[in-house]
Amino acid sequence: MRSLHIGVDAWIIQDGNYGDFEVGGSHRFAVEFSPHEVVAIDAPTSAGCVLRHVGGALHEIEGAVVRAAPNDWVIDFGMRAFQEARPPEWARPGVLLRGVVYLGIDPFFYFERLKNEPGMPDLFLEWTIRRICLETTPWVESRDASGRILRARADRDPTFVEVPKTDAWNDDGGHAHYVLECDATEPAN
């Protein structure tokens, strides 16, 4: 069993790709990663893969590249996750890596398209939700060069409050970000 903190934005639920989540519920999905400071390494620093929760949906990882296609790549750090983006130049299958990644629920990229790509591994897992945290970091408004109002979270450590379920249409005015603490039980078939 693998336990992860996986992010999900309200729009992913609002798009109808998933229903609202609740503590104790089980769901089948793939995990997407967004790299922060991920680099190739020559040798691992430990005997196996590394997966360490940093905060929110951020994790320190150490693992290897499993797939590197022109517009997507898959990494393995004790579990597999994908990113639909051009991989770094150094990313080739077997290359070791280390860094920090944001882990999120696949919005639709994998289950609608990528799962059918030649050579793409099966990334679906069955997840049980143990805890749900709603981000409460304040929003800050600014204006861009043309005067449009932009909203972004305050540049500070994020804050969260525990909730029993998501309410994507109402929490945080419909702009909620959640972190699901969940366990992968077994590959979904």
Q: Where are the domains of the chain?
A: 2-187
Among left, alpha and beta (phi > 0; psi -120 to 50; other), residue 78 is left
- The tens digit of pLDDT for each residue in 37-63 reads 899 998 877 777 888 999 999 999 999
What mean pLDDT is predicted for residues 159-171? 97
Q: Would you state the pLDDT for residue 49?
A: 80
How would residue 179 be classed by pLDDT, with cut points 50, 70 and 90?
very high
What mean pLDDT is predicted for residues 93-103? 95
Is a pLDDT exceeding 90 seen at residue 150?
A: yes
Structure-token match 């059918």, residue found: 116
Give me 132's structure tokens.
């749900």
Q: Would you state the pLDDT for residue 189?
A: 44
What mean pLDDT is predicted for residues 95-122? 93
What 3-state class would DSSP assign to 127? strand
Is a pLDDT exceeding 80 seen at residue 29?
A: yes
Task: Tell me which DSSP letter residue 97 carries.
Answer: E
Q: Would you state the pLDDT for residue 75?
A: 96
CA gap 68, 86 in Å, rounded: 8
What mean pLDDT is predicted for residues 70-77? 95
pLDDT above 90 covers a percentage of the chain that reads: 85
Give me 81's structure tokens.
């996750």
